[in-house]
Amino acid sequence: MDIFLQQLINGLVLGSIYALVALGYTMVYGILELINFAHGEVTMIGAMVGLTVIGLIMGLAPDLPGILVVLGGVLVAIPACMLLAYSIEKVAYRPLRKAPRLAPLITAIGVSIVLQNVAMLVWGRQYISFPRILPEGQYELLGAHISYLQIFIVVLSLSVMASLWFLVQRTRLGRAMRATAQSKEVAALMGVDVDRVISATFLIGAAIAAVAGVMVSAYYGLAHYYMGFMLGLKAFSAAVLGGIGNIAGAMLGGMLLGIIEALGAGYIGDITGGFLGSHYQDVFAFFVLILVLVLRPSGLLGERVASRA
Amino acid sequence: MPVTRRTLIVSSLLAAGLLVGCGKKTETDSDTLVVKIGSVAPLTGPQAHIGKDNENGARMAVDEINAQGLELGGKKIQLMLIGEDDQADPKTATIVAQKLVDQGVQAVIGHLNSGTTIPASKYYHDAGIPQISPSATAIAYTAQGYKTAYRVMANDEQQGRVLGQYAVTGMGAKRIAVIDDRTAYGQGLADEFEKAAKAAGGEIVAREFTHDRATDFTAILTSIKGKNPDLLFFGGMDPQGGPMAQQMKRLGLSAGLLGGDGLQNVNFIKLAGTDAEGVTASSPGLPLEAMPGGPDFKAKFEAKYGVIQVYAPYAYDAVHVLVAAMKRAGSSDPAKVLAELPNTDHQGVTGQLKFDQKGDTQGGAVTLYRVKDGQWTVLETVQ
């Protein structure tokens, strides 16, 4: 029982990380119907910038408590990622807004490769370790362990999702976003500055990605120029699973995907008697993605949008 | 781009320059014969520092031999080392191998990784050129039946056997869990470990898998925890081993962690942080201080190239083994050298080097290390 509970916790934390990144995918898709494949790399840049700043702060003020140091890293990573995402949108996506659907998609993949290589040149190919400065305590629950950081990650992603939902449903900007999502042209006629709304969407997504990046590298204790690729793919699968374009869907999809992966990897060896092993962990995510695309293309919480996608 | 007269002139000048450059390289005095030896290792990428180390080791040997003067069959010989970069990538390795063959090298020292050494070995075999790897440990390398493939380091079979025995008899482990990263190296090592541990009386309670880009091991570690092992063996590299050590602690998995030479490096300690404490790992060969010519080699090498990373002494020995075979054959002709290589009995920096029929070193040593106070410290060397 404690093992099962531990696997659920593992999955929940992993899922929260996916969900944080998936929110960025889903917001951009909701408005532009563009799958922003560079989003995983924005997360990676967030982690790298955060780590660099954390290293600098630790060098300058070695006595500062760890939480403040990490907070400092996050606070620099957020504007860095926002600036990056703003430029990406302006340089790579805006000129193609009226182009066929495939063009910006391919540009997005291109941007993602460029970012990976730039990060490789700037930060090198080595794995960079995250200093152990966060409080490392943990609770024990019926034999299962859950650390402060894990609790923080789950709470963080839930609260980010809640505030996003509030933003979209209850604020002026949110109303403009929803209008733009329905029809850019009509929204523009109604006096909505579409370019600004789209930029704002990218900025918000990038800010969340920055936080997610620092959290991921704190959780696993390392960062690497390649880390955004798999993370981005998994988060994308999560967004599709939940219904891409839907904020609650991204959250649900992320959590579900995390739990499916953890339980799958944890039990497949025993269930199949060693025939299939835990190296199929990553297969689950993509298997689920295919299943959803075949059976319910709009995702768990998505609305049917037959004419789109 | 429009082809202007200027670009034409510039490019033809460039081409001429290249030709002249090539001509200079092959130009020789009539009484001195240039013998080309290839050296391949990753010179760019995450392992670049280790690759350059191999090349420097080989270069030091070549420079020394040239300075002493080498004569084969009455002809003065000038050795020329051609360093190539395989980027630790199997595809690039085969391209580089073909390039060296085309350039007419008489022998190759390399490559560094098992994953690159194995595909490249076919090219050297087809061309009939001797290849001595200073550092590839995968069993498959010498198991292909190529009479051209040699190595001067203990292979994974020897390492896995030592690790398996040590786990049961040295560490007293009874219930052992095994994880590997599904690479040629990780899987091979884990398989050999499992065999040896079973033979020594240990029980394998779990066999789990990950891959060489993974960072999350909580699911497999939790599953392993449910089987109550007292030791966890990981066949893989430090970027996975580091986070794995951390996640073991976090999940309250109290089993010890044991690994091969993929973990036995400074980067592992950096990534695992305080959780590296007490981790045990092996590395083929003796620690440098304990090598017969170790301290001497260290002084010479560091005066010239700086700190030794890992395998430089092996690359150095590989060149000497090769030249010794050339001397016995009285020729640098690859076929004649290949006939002499099996008779190698060379007192090198790293130890006494002899080959078995497959091209593996006989009785290669394996040393066990443990992390103590954030440093790898020598536990014991098994011959």
Comparing alpha-carbon positions, the chain B residue that sits nearest to A129 is B271
pLDDT at B239: 87
B209 touches chain A (CB under 8 A): yes
CB contact under 8 A, B267 and A126: yes
Q: Which residues of A touch B267 (CB under 8 A)?
A: 126-127
Distance from CA of A165 to the nearest CA of B (A): 29
Find, in chain B, the residue whose alpha carbon is nearest to that of A144: B251
Per-residue pLDDT tens for B254-311? 999 999 988 998 889 988 999 999 999 998 888 888 888 899 999 999 999 988 888 8
Two structure tokens written together for B355: 């080959």
| Residues of chain B found within 8 Å of residue A262, distances taken between Cβ atoms | 218-219, 222
Q: Are the Cβ atoms of B242 and A262 closer than 8 angstroms?
A: no
* Residue (of B159, B364, B167) closest to B262 by Cα position: B159
Amino acid in the structure at residue B301: F
| Structural domains of chain B sorted by starting position, each given as residue range(s) with its CATH number in brackets | 29-154+291-350 (3.40.50.2300), 157-284+366-382 (3.40.50.2300)
pLDDT tier at A280 (50, 70, 90 boundaries)? Answer: confident
Instruction: Name every chain B residue with its beta carbon within 8 A of the beta carbon of A146.
Output: none
Are B215 and A138 inside 8 Å of each other by CB?
Answer: no
- Cα of A236 to nearest chain B Cα, Å: 18
- Average pLDDT over all residues of chain A: 89
Contact B267 A127 (CB under 8 A): yes
Per-residue tokens: B151: 């190595």
Cα distance between residue A309 and residue A307, in whole Å: 7
Identify from B179, B218, B237 which residue to disrupt to test chain A contact, counting A C-beta atoms within 10 A and taking the largest count: B218
Strand pairing report for A144-147 and A138-141:
antiparallel
| Interatomic CA distance for residues B30 and B300, integer angstroms | 33
Asked if the model's pLDDT at residue B342 lies above 90, the reply is yes
pLDDT digits (tens, 9 = 90+) for B22-75: 444 444 556 789 999 999 999 877 677 888 999 999 999 999 999 999 999 888
Give the helix, strand, coil percentages of chain B, each rounded to 5: 50, 20, 30
Q: Which residues of A touch B219 (CB under 8 A)?
A: 7, 10-11, 261-266, 278, 281
Q: Is the pLDDT of residue B16 over 70?
A: no
Interface probe for A, chosen from B49, B85, B222 (most Cβ of A below 10 Å), is: B222
**Which of A14, A127, A267 is opposite residue B216, by nearest beta carbon?**
A14
Residue A50: DSSP 8-state = H
CB pairs under 8 A between A and B: 97
Taking the Cβ of residue B207 and every Cβ of chain A, the question of whether any pair is shorter than 8 Å is answered with: yes
The pairing of strands B231-235 and B256-259 is parallel
B3 pLDDT above the threshold of 60: no
Interface test with B, best of A3, A8, A9, A10 (most B CBs within 10 A): A10
How do residues A179-193 score in pLDDT, each as one tens digit?
A: 998 889 999 999 999
Which chain B positions have a beta carbon within 8 Å of A257's beta carbon? none
- The DSSP annotation for A85-131 comes to HHHHIIIIIGGGTTS-THHHHHHHHHHHHHHHHHHHHHH-SSPEEPP
